[in-house]
């Protein structure tokens, strides 16, 4: 994933994390989530067991011989589209040793330590969630405007950051990530009816202020949990995938309030700081190694 030169974009137009933002935490209003979002995801979590990660271009069912699940619906929030428009897998880390190890990579851990721990050697941070978003060629659907903290509901959104990595070159044509400036509060979210579980704050967003973030494959952006963001449609001839990891300062950890499939193996390994055991505490073994995983330098 990091074979190409990674671009760590921190602090673009003030919408993503900067050290200053970390140092000046803002207060959040709490949003009471519509519980509908939770129950829907549980029932839509059926996944098959063989898992080719690279999908052919033609996808014609909700799930295509793997664990990526089509979450797109016919506009009613329930009925899955016959053609897969929006594929996801969450959590991602249990699916391959590479995805389990990646949050421990020194480049990742160092960025997270600077952003969330203000480089303080006494502070630790964990990986809170991992996901992949796959938008098929020609009919890939975007993910509507939302703030991650509408799902996570941590007390202080500046203590958490997303790390979104472009797996393919991500540009305006294939619906790359768009952001607006971060906010001190969680905006009202409602159910997004083009998906079986998403929620959205699109009614509150001034799209004129949206900043598309174009990245080469392997490029990475970080943004705090209150940054409203979305992706748009992929109408190009090629698929577009992104991998998102979410990190949280360990002192601000809260147990999960967002939904996951019933059988999800949700772990929150501490990836940096004095509480980090390189995976031993969470996985029973050291997982911060790459040799033998891909055969490639990452
Ligand atoms: O990659 C995408 O299409 C959506 C990513 C996203 O919304 C997220 O990481 O929260």
Give me the CATH number covering residue 104. Answer: 2.60.120.620
- State yes or no: pLDDT of 85 exceeds 80: yes
Give the mutation target among 89, 172, 244, 247 for probing the ligand 1 site: most ligand atoms within 8 A of CB: 244
Distance CA 249, CA 247 (A): 7
The answer as to whether 87 is a domain residue is yes
Torsion of CA 81, 153, 102, 195, to 10 degrees: 0
Residue 90 C-alpha from the chain's centroid: 9
What domain count does the chain have? 1
- Rounded to an integer, the average pLDDT of 68-94 is 93
Least confident of 11-15, 109-113, 237-241: 11-15
Evaluated on CA atoms 227, 124, 272, 278, the torsion sign reads negative
134 in Cβ contact with 243 (< 8 Å)? no
Q: How far is the CA of 256 from the centre of ligand 1 (A)?
A: 19
Q: Which residues contact 201 (CB under 8 A, 6 or more apart)?
A: 145, 146, 147, 150, 187, 188, 189, 190, 228
Give the mutation target among 171, 177, 213 for probing the ligand 1 site: most ligand atoms within 8 A of CB: 177
Question: Ligand 1: residues within 6 Å at CB?
Answer: 133, 143, 148, 162, 164, 229, 231, 242, 244
Give the mutation target among 85, 86, 142, 143 for probing the ligand 1 site: most ligand atoms within 8 A of CB: 143
The answer as to whether 98 is a domain residue is yes
Distance CA 171, CA 259 (A): 30
- Rounded to an integer, the average pLDDT of 45-74 is 49
Proportion of the chain above pLDDT 70, given as a percent? 76
The answer as to whether 45 is a domain residue is no
- State yes or no: pLDDT of 43 exceeds 70: no
The answer as to whether 190 is a domain residue is yes
- Residue 223, number of CB atoms within 10 A of its CB: 26
The answer as to whether 50 is a domain residue is no
Q: Provide the domain limits for residue 82.
A: 8-26+68-283
């Amino acid at each position: 994933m990091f074979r190409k030169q990674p671009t760590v974009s921190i602090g673009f137009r003030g919408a993503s994390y900067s050290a200053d933002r970390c140092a000046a935490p803002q207060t959040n209003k709490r949003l009471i989530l519509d519980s509908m979002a939770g129950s829907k995801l549980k029932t839509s979590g059926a996944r098959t067991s063989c898992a080719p990660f690279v999908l052919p271009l033609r996808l014609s069912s909700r799930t295509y011989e793997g664990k990526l699940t089509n979450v797109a619906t016919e506009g009613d929030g329930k009925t899955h589209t016959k053609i897969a428009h929006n594929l996801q897998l969450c959590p991602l880390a249990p699916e391959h040793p590479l995805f389990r190890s990646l949050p421990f990579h020194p480049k990742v851990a160092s960025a997270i330590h600077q952003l969330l721990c203000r480089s303080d050697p006494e502070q630790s941070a964990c990986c809170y969630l991992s996901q992949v978003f796959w938008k098929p060629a020609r009919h890939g659907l975007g993910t509507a405007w939302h703030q991650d903290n509408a799902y996570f509901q941590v007390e202080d959104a500046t203590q958490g950051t997303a790390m979104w990595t472009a797996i393919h070159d991500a540009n305006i044509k294939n619906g790359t990530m768009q952001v607006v400036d971060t906010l001190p509060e969680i905006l009202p979210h409602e159910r997004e009816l083009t998906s079986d579980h998403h929620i959205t704050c699109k009614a509150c967003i001034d799209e004129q202020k949206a900043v598309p973030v174009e990245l080469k494959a392997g490029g990475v952006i970080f943004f705090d949990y209150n940054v409203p963001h979305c992706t748009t449609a992929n109408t190009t001839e090629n698929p577009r995938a992104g991998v998102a990891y979410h990190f949280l300062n360990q002192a601000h950890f809260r147990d999960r309030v967002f939904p996951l499939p019933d059988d999800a193996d949700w772990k929150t390994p501490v990836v940096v700081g004095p509480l980090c055991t390189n995976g031993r505490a969470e996985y029973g073994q050291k997982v911060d190694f790459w040799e033998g995983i891909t055969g490639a330098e990452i």
